[in-house]
Amino acid sequence: MAANSRRRILFLGQNWYGSSARASCAALRRLGHDVWEIDDQVFIPQWRHLLMKVGRRLAIARMVQEYNDEILRQVHAWKPDFMLAFKGQYVLPQILDRLRHAGIRLYNYYPDTSAFAHGPWLAQTLPLYDCVFTTKPFWERDVSSRLKLAHCQYIPHGYDPDVHFPMSLQERDVADFRHEAVFVGSYIPHKEMVIHGLLEIQPDLDLAIWGNGWEKCGSSLLKRCLKGYALNATAYSRALQASAICLGIMSGRVPGSSQGDEMTTRSFQIPACGAFMLHERTAELARYFDEGKEVACFDTPEELSSKICHYLKHENEREAIAAAGFKRCVPAYSYDARMAELISYVEGGF
């Protein structure tokens, strides 16, 4: 990379191993940029114990102010060319105003379906960015009906080459993670509905579900499948690779959005791991993978059940689709490619 094209970037995003924010930050560094990151979880911890949650609620205003004060300190000390916030739900509007007056360009890479379900500040701050990069094709339409954005550009999710890649599985990985089918993701009612419909047809399916929030699940059929905790980073990747079929089930419609998402991070992470993906059929997915060749798809629980039965009996087909999906995905759909695209828009004047 030429010295005069290297940018000094202030990056706001969580830095836990396996997060998409960390993957984006690391990708920017691999592209040759100087990146200073501020992790909001250092200032605003995600406590789970009830007493700690009460303490957090009482102290949240002070925590958010400390976080924003740190943004100002780093801008003053480091003088970045621009700031990139990964969602940026705790960034205050007055901070963005001060950065703009200081000549700092402001960008947001927004990964979620709704802009109105993640705290009180986003509705005020999103219009202040020079450009918001969204991972959902319909997101700009939803937001623009309520907010006036300066610019909005679609850049999809990706996979993290540090985390999502084919691995050699040990015996303990096989013992812990091998199943006929697996779903890894947080609880959403739509996901429960789809999986419940599947298990009504195949109650004896060897299915494992990992993720947060599944204690809300009301289906007795699902409860035997729940593992009770989330999988992150390489444990997540190993679980995908140990199972015969990896399910790609979307979230359905959430408050503040006109529709459910059509792709998520797992839509790229599963094939990047070399695993076989059976994904909800969507128009967006068809832009990135060829159905029947690089991914298998379903619309209904009945079709999902039929496809699972078919592909469990046809290992060679599974392996061929997984191999073709991997070839299509890697490296074209990595976060390195996504951040290179983002930088090209920034350099183009957004």
Q: Which two tokens mark 141?
A: 């339409």
Q: What is the pLDDT of residues 270-305, one digit of tens each?
A: 999 999 999 999 999 999 999 999 999 999 999 999
User: For residue 2, with 0-12 CB atoms within 10 Å meaning exposed, 13-18 middle and 19 or more buried, which class applies?
Assistant: exposed
Which of the 8 DSSP states describes residue 295? B
Rounded CA separation 342/154 (Å): 10
Identify the pLDDT of residue 54: 80
* Superfamily per CATH, domain 171-329: Glycogen Phosphorylase B; (3.40.50.2000)
Which DSSP state fits 262? S
Q: What is the mean pLDDT of residues 48-54?
A: 79
Architecture of domain 3-158+334-347: 3-Layer(aba) Sandwich (3.40)
Q: Taking the model in full, what pTM does it have?
A: 0.94
DSSP H stretches of helix in the chain:
20-30, 40-43, 50-78, 93-101, 122-125, 139-144, 171-177, 189-201, 220-223, 233-242, 266-272, 283-286, 301-313, 315-329, 335-347
312: number of Cβ within 10 Å: 15
- Asked if pLDDT for residue 4 goes beyond 60, the answer is no
Same fold across 3-158+334-347 and 171-329: yes
Q: How far apart are CA 208 and CA 61, in angstroms?
A: 39
Torsions phi, psi for 344 (to 5 deg): -65, -35
Nearest to 303 by CA among 287, 291, 294, 288: 291
| Domain parsing of the chain, residue ranges | 3-158+334-347, 171-329
